[in-house]
Every structure is written in structure tokens, then in C-alpha cells.
Structure 1
């Protein structure tokens, strides 16, 4: 008999936390047990389209969801549960943990080529410009969609996702920073919050100080085990900075002024002249402007969107006199050779390359100066926007959301975020997987 058939939904409340409920010697905490029962009840016995599960760092939320999907819900033959995330980077984290995953965008939207475009005189010309439209339907085999990092989903994408009337289990962390553009609607509709730290995480120094940050408590200077250190700014000697910054997998700060200064400092450590405003081969950059027309992989599953970190290569002049480069997202093994525009901001100044200039429109789009008059009159279209990047040795905490890194250095500027200072620090701390240094 399939082990799933032994568990009847109606009697789930009778299962005690001390009972081993699988053949894998896995015991759930009382908190996980409660979440499991609520999810199972929702899936089988309610008409509600979605369930929102929040869970703090160290509560075993990701494990619990994976466990419930594979061992409790027991989809029938031919039925599928799919895991998705708002970004390719977040999806790649699930994949590394052994869970096949894609993006929400690739699941519910399809590419469509426009066959016309309006030129500068208002005439229709031939074009192959891509755009994305909501699919009419998704596979009928899909009975459950599990969405990780749900707090990063916009209201528009959420509306489109729910329109397919497929049950959606949203997973997030209400203690993290809300999106820059406002509060995610899902985090106002939480069905259950997991708060109990699992035994395996209780001795993890990163989880310990993340919990203190979430609770708004002061975290004293000092060492926390072998993996966490908190020091004052004055303790960081100049001779230490180069070794430290070049060894960090990611530096996180709060203010753009700090980010610019740190990126310039690290480029100096790499012996890159300050006059070299554009990235050289192998430099770490982050995309800061969505361009859904630029795929990052040959299968066109991931696209160039705000927050994607990667590496620049093969800087060159394009046919349109705009500097071009190849770009490899850090979660992909290979780079795509199609040209990406090189738009890099340093200290607020736009460095475009080859003497060109760009114009920022009212909607935030950055366009080549030659296109400005036409676009201002016609309103910008997506393929006229110059791809925008910044150096990414140091990034802001908002840009780091949905990502994780082995060794993180945090410049604690939580004070700048006022009522969200605890969320800021908690989010920054939980980007670290193995090692963490906080400088404040």
C-alpha cells in the first residue's frame, strides 16, 4: 500500500508530534505538524484557490513544503505539482537543493513576436520584437503550484497566476523587507506563520543572530561560533579591507552612496583604473532594469530582469554605436552570446561607451540620446531601452533579496530604514549560507 493512502485527511488532527510518520525517520516539530495539517485541509477540503505560508529563517519551511508535497498530498497518476519562483536566481536555489523549479513568468506567460513597429515618422515597419502575453491555459496535469519567495511577486503577476484557477501554495517570510514598490498583497493574507526554530538550526550562529535581529534586539559585537563576527567600522584596518572584500562572495549595504564607494574601492583593488568606467572581462555586474526581450539562456527560460547578477565579457562596439557585451548570469553555467547593451552607472553618472549619452525618461527608462525625441513623442517601447547594469561587488539589501551567498559581508546601515530597520538587518543576515561578517 502507498504510504500516502495510510493518512486520512479527516483524521490528521489525531497524529501526535511524537509519532514517526514516514519511513525516513523524520519527526516534524509541533509547528511543522500544524502547518502540514492546515495545508492538507486546504488542499483537499476547501475551495480556496491559494494558501499563504510564512516561515522565519530556521523553521524548516522549505523542508516542510517539500515533505508535504511528496509524502502527504499524494497526487494521482498523471497529476503534477510544480515549483516556481519570481526570479531565475531564486529558482536556481531550489534546483541546487534538489527541487526542479522554474520561474512564474515562464509558467504563465508565452512569447509572442510582433510583426510590426512604428518608425520615427509614424510609419509601420517590419519587426521581430518579442512581447509576452498570458497563456490561455497551462497544462491540465498541473494541480498544484508552489511559489517560493512569494513576497517578491507583484500584484499584476499574482492576478494572472490566480486566473488559471489552479491551487497555489505561496511560501514567504513576513520578517523580510517588502518589495521596493510597496507591500506584497500576499503577505497581508497569511494563513499560517511558522515560528519554531528546528533543532538542527538552533545552534547555527547565523540563525541565532537573525532571530535577534527579527526580534529587534541589540546584537553585541564579537564572534558567534566560527561563522559569524560583528565588528565596529573602526576595527577594519585598511590592510585588511582588500583581502576581506576580495574574498567575500557578496557585500551588502543599505545606501547607494555606500554601494558606489565600495564598488569603486574594490575595482581599485583589482587594479582597474578609475577612468575605466565600463566593465572589463569578468567583472561582476547586476541588471537594474527589466528587459523581457533579452533571454539569458538558449532555451529562453530566464530573462534579463532587475536584480540578476552576473559577469560581463567581450566588451565591444555594436552596429548602433552602443557598447555591447556578453553576459552570464551567476546561476547559469554558460553565457549567451547575443549582445547586451552596456549601460553602467557609477556615482550617478551614466557611462555608455564610445562617447554616447543616454536619457532617462519620466518612467525610469534609459534610452539613447538619438532616440529621445522620437520616444518622447511616441512613448518608449521596450526594445528602445538600453540595458542597464551597475557594478555588483557591493549591492543593496533590496537587490540581494531572493539570493543567497556562502560568505556575506554586511555594512549595517539598518538605521536608515527607520521602522523597517529590523526587517532590513534580518534580510541582510539571512542572505548568508556559511559565513557572515557584520560591520557597523
Structure 2
């Protein structure tokens, strides 16, 4: 009886007849909610256009009607903004919700796993393909392994449960071959039982989308066993949401999209930092007519986590690698320690009412690596440490260096063009994709994961820039 009521609630929040995959998922969700089995995870996998978003919204609304609390989360600020937009509920980054900063009295600024004080709560996490189980840039957070900490946090709460949602065809976290949070076997290795459902049917409302038509072909290729698939045929005819353009049209088309959608809703996705730099330089000079290295209104992306400028209790506990900000004011420029800095006010566009005065490095704007090299970081450390020759104790000197605002300047790049890993989890109305140098030998599953992830960023219009002609000839792989 309860299950039937739950199924009715889940179905009533859909705006169309569910697909057979969605019907199975609705039955599974009703069973999950009505059961009291501990240590069980609901895993919802789904490709682009299969109604994942709709099902998350239906679940959140149904739980709300049942007076069951939900917490919506995503790995990045931009992804959290997307889930908040389609559910009409507040959403948080995983880091914001599960960690708290230790008292900075030790000068280290580490974040520890917070206590889960929620009871009878469902934690729904979107874009779970981005969640890593490897230590990396997040090593100051808890165990350093985000997936481990997420599971520990949720299931330490009284009768709390976890719903992981994501797309296995997208890029996995940097440094791993699969997305561990979407792999039932990996989750079971933590001691959980997993209810797993996969949405594979594109909903009828999306069937006239060229983006989803071609993305569906790509994910079939990714799921197949073929290791060297060659060129997949991309179909353009009869679709209005996808265009192929050459370099000669590029500036005009990007300018048109800025006029139509605004530059917050337009982006370029590339395969390398070097290519993104070229686009950023061209866009600033030829479309936005910016002559100075930075100007008011410039869009910047933070390229390394920063724990210095965001205050405790603020909307931002820390500034994350991948966060996008607009320059509101430029106060001054400085040169010190062999580095150039600007003092600016930044507005973080994916968060509400977050503006911070901070110091930024100017050199990172044009470097071809993702952020400063180890060597450059060491040079900065050594230069700053020379300011404290009277402090003999290494720990005390390290504490002073960590409190130095120049040492903590934000590493930033322009944010008009991004690599695909940086764009992942975000959505823009118009997206330009440039695959750069490409020959057939480079076409493997990892390439098609990159292309699939890039293809599924736009909500309205996709432009394929200088794409290899073999993608559009009938000799291409047809799936």
C-alpha cells in the first residue's frame, strides 16, 4: 500500500508519460523509501536526455510531500547551481556540507569531517561521476578521499540515506579510469548494499535534439568493446541545435552568442590549457576589445584551491579549483618576490551574493599548465620565507608563510574558454567545442568520453569548431 502511494507521488511530479526505464526506477525508489534497510545506497545512472534531472526533481518533490527532509549536493559550485535551478531547492557543494574548518590556531587551515546532525534525511548527489576516491588537490579535506568521506558523513547520521546520480559516459575524475561513485562493486567494497538503476531511453521530448541524437551514438560507442572505433559519423541535418563552423565564422558567432545569451551563458570547451589560452586571448582582444591584462568585468577561473581569502561562516568556506568569478574592481598592482599581483574585488558567479577582496597572481593568466609548476611554487615559498629570517623554528616559520597574503594569492586564468574537465558539471546556453589537433590514431574511448562530456554542456546551442571532416562523411562509424 505504501509502495503504491509512493509510486503515485513520484509519477504525479512527472510532466509526461514515463519511459519503461523510468517506471522501473520509480518502482525501485518506492521500494527504497518504504524499506528500512540500513547501509543501502540508491545508485541512479543515466545518459544525457534520459530524464535523470526530471527523476531527481520528482524524488525531491515526493519526499517533500511526505515531510521527509532532503539535502541536494553536487561536486562543484556550478553543478550545485544547476541542480538548484531545476528543483527550486537550495543545493550545496559536497565540501560545503560535509566538512568544517578546524580552528586556524595551528595555522594549517585543514578541514575535518563534520558531524552529521541530520535525522531521517535523504542526501541526493548529482554529477557523481566527478567524485574521486583518490587523494589529490583535496588532501586538506578529511581523509583526502571525497567518496570515503561522503559515505562516512551520510551514514553516521541517524537513519540517513544516500542517492548517487550521474552519467557513466562522462569523464571520470582526473587520474582514474572509471567513476568510483557510479560503480556498484566499488560501493559494495565499502560494506554497503546497492540498489542500481540505469536510464537508457531518451525521453520523447528530447528526440528532436541533434545534441542528444549524437551524444546517444557516442555513449553507445563508449559502452561497446571496440578499442579503436575511428571516426563516428556526426549527423547535423534537420537539427537546429547543432552547427558546424569554420575558423572564419568563429569571432562573429561567439559575438552573436554573447549578444543573445550573455557571456555568462556562453563558453568554449577545448582539449588543452594551451588551446584555451589562445581562445581567451582572441575573445578578449577581438570580441570584448579588452586591451589591458585584466579589466573590470573580466571573467576569471580559479585554478587551484585556496583557503585564505574566504572567511569562516561565509557562503564560501574556501575558493575551489574551477570556481568562476567576475572582476568587480581593480584596486592596485604590485610586484614582489619575483611575481606580479593585482588587488581586486571578485564576485563569484555561481554563488549568491559572494564578493571578496583578494590578491591574484597575474602570471597564471597565460601559463600553459593548469596552474603553477612545483618549481614555481617552490620559488615563491623560498622567496617569502626570506622575510622571516629571525624565526628559527621551522613550524613557526611555516605558519607565518601560510599567513602571508602574497603566498596565498589566487591562481587564476581567463574563463571565456575552458578545458572539458573544468566545464564538467556546468551548463551554458551556447557552447563552442574545439577538438584541436586530431588524427584517427587518437580516437579511443577516452577521446569519445571527452567529446560526449563536451557535447552535453549546452542547453540550447552547440557549435562544432573546425571539426575534422571525417566526422561528417558517411565513412564514419555508424551506431
TM-score normalized by structure 1? 0.79
1:185 matched to which residue of 2? 180
Q: Which residue of 2 aligns with 1:173?
A: 167
Alignment of 1:143-154 (within 5 A): 143-154=121-132
Find the residue that maps to 1:314 and give its secondary structure: strand
Give the structure 2 partner of residue 421 of structure 1.
447
More strand by share: 1
Match of 1:308 among 315, 323, 338: 323
Q: Does 1:241 align with 2:220?
A: no
Q: Which residue of 2 aligns with 1:289?
A: 304
Name the Cα RMSD after superposition: 3.5
- The match for 1:213 is 218
The more displaced of 315-324 and 93-102 is: 315-324
Mean alpha-carbon deviation: is it higher for 210-219 or for 398-407? 210-219
1:227-266 equivalences under 5 Å are 227-231=241-245, 235-237=246-248, 240-248=249-257, 249-266=266-283
Q: Is 1:94 paired with 2:111?
A: no
Residue 201 of structure 1: CA displacement? 0.9
Map Cα deviations across residues 390-415 of structure 1 (whole Å, 9 max, x no partner): 11111111110010000111112495
Q: CA deviation at 1:35?
A: 1.4
Matched residue of 1:294: which SS? coil
Equivalent residues of 2:46, 2:166 under 8 A apart: yes
- Offset, 1:40: 3.0
Structure 1 counterpart of 2:40: 49
On the 8 A contact 2:132/2:181 being kept in 1, the answer is: no
Contact preservation (8 Å) 2:129, 2:166 = yes
Question: Which consecutive unaligned segments of at least 5 residues does structure 2 have?
Answer: 134-144, 186-195, 222-230, 258-265, 389-393, 468-479
Where in structure 1 are there 5+ consecutive unaligned residues?
A: 118-128, 351-357
CA distance in 2, matches of 1:325, 1:20: 48
Structure 1 residues 296 and 151, CA, compared in 2 at 3 Å: closer, same or farther?
A: farther
Cα separation, 2, equivalents of 1:206 and 1:302? 36
Could you say which structure has the higher helix fraction?
2
Once the two structures are TM-superposed, the CA of residue 437 in structure 1 deviates from its matched residue by: 0.6
Contact 1:286–1:390 (8 Å) recurs in 2: yes
Distance (whole Å) between structure 1 residues aligned to residue 10 and residue 328 of structure 2: 53
After TM superposition, the structure 1 = structure 2 runs for residues 10-409 of structure 1, keeping only pairs within 5 Å, are 21-22=11-12, 26-45=16-35, 46-71=37-62, 77=67, 79-97=68-86, 98-117=88-107, 130-140=109-119, 142-155=120-133, 156-164=145-153, 165=155, 166-182=160-176, 183-189=178-184, 191-216=196-221, 218-220=232-234, 222-231=236-245, 235-237=246-248, 240-248=249-257, 249-269=266-286, 270-273=288-291, 276=292, 278-295=293-310, 299-301=314-316, 303-317=318-332, 322-332=341-351, 334-348=353-367, 360-361=373-374, 367=380, 370-371=383-384, 384-409=407-432
Distance 1:20 1:433 in 2: 25
The change in CA–CA distance for 1:423 and 1:387 in structure 2 (over 3 A counts) is same
Superposition deviation, residue 268 in structure 1: 1.8
C-alpha spacing 1:212/1:372, structure 2 compared with 1 (3 Å): farther
Q: Shift of the alpha carbon at 1:103? A: 1.7
C-alpha separation between the residues in 2 aligned to 1:111 and 1:266?
38
Q: CA shift at 1:196, angstroms?
A: 0.6
Deviation at 1:318, TM superposition (A): 7.3
Distance 1:170 1:25, change over 3 A: closer
Q: Is the 8 A contact 2:64 2:70 kept in 1?
A: no
Residues 42 and 48, structure 1, Cα contact 8 Å, conserved in 2: no
Moved more, 161-170 or 288-297: 288-297
Tell me, what secondary structure is at the counterpart of 1:304?
coil
